Amino acid sequence: MENLESEEEQDQLFIYKTITVDPGQQPLRIDKFLIDRIPQISRNKIQISCKTNCLLVNDSPVKPNYKVKPGDELVLLIPEEKEELEILPEDIPLDIVYEDDDLLVLNKNAGLVVHPGYGNKHGTLVNALAFHFKNLPTSNGTDRPGIVHRLDKATSGLMVIAKTEFAHSHLAKQFFDRTSERTYHAIVWGEPTEPDGVIEGHIGRSLKNRKVMSVFEDGEYGKSAITTYKTLRSYGYVTLIQCKLKTGRTHQIRAHFKHIGHPLFGDPEYGGNKILKGTTFTKYKQFVENNFKLLPRQALHAKTLGFEHPTKGVFMQFDSEIPDDMQSVIDRWENYSKHSDLDAI
């Protein structure tokens, strides 16, 4: 019996399936072998996986007609298995910054859920995509057409959507291998001890609150997570930072900065929606509370996105403006830090 395991990347929608071929296995085409062992996969998906190097045997790409042998180590990148929901098209506007026959890049608004789930069956990005586009690839499930990666509901910023099966597989491999490039801008409470640094620590579901993630430094739980950051501007009470992810875990930036004592400004789930730096001086308190009203979410924006185009073979890079709600708070802290200008309250 082959050994079948999976490893999930939390912010993507794909897993690696690893199979060790049984010692008694007779030579058999790999597409037939996999169809027999992974019910949700089709021969067409296997062929696409081969073309995009998402199917490896003994660490090397193979063609669909490769014949497996006893002891072969197979690794396949496939969509994670989720219960599918019926998707109803909804006329929700999309901010599309680039589009061609293979893909589109859009700027997701804060408050927009990416795909349906429990409690969010309508009003999602997927409902909008179903209305504006037809025949998006469903290799990740009919309830997630074209979706390659996630952003939290309250996080704004750039996302890429695949329009073909080939593009979907090609982009998924890049995100899984971390060859794509993404930077985030965030406002955090206080000033990190090191203006530029690396945050490491396993991230897993909190043992006390299943809605949030926790950091486990000794690695006894969760999965390895690495966030690099640099300070863009310090305002004394809060700091504007740029982040890059070397791994992609759920709520990674939010959990990591909470762990080092600098939660994201306004983040209700990680304690950033309270005054964590400064005094309780009445006017200062009012200033901060007004900022919370202007930015009723975590101060996090996926600002840049870069990836290799699936068919053109060129590396494409996109940049986006900080959204108005977050920029207004940045401007107010800038003014306050320079002048302690209480007129800004």
Catalytic annotation, pick one of 11, 31, 152, 267: 152
Helices marked H in the chain:
30-37, 43-51, 125-132, 165-177, 252-259, 282-294, 324-339
Question: Token digits for 268?
Answer: 């209700």
DSSP 243: E
Helices marked H in 107-149:
125-132
Question: Token digits for 126?
Answer: 């997927």
152 is catalytic: yes
Contacts of residue 240, Cβ cutoff 8 Å, sequence gap at least 6:
185, 186, 187, 231, 232, 233, 234, 330
Cα atoms in the 13 Å half-sphere on the side-chain side of 206: 15
Measured distance CA(244)–CA(227) in Å, rounded = 6
Contact 262, 240 (CB under 8 A): no
Contact 19, 56 (CB under 8 A): no
Q: How far is CA 289 from CA 104, 297, 343, in A?
A: 38, 13, 14
Residues annotated catalytic, as ranges: 152
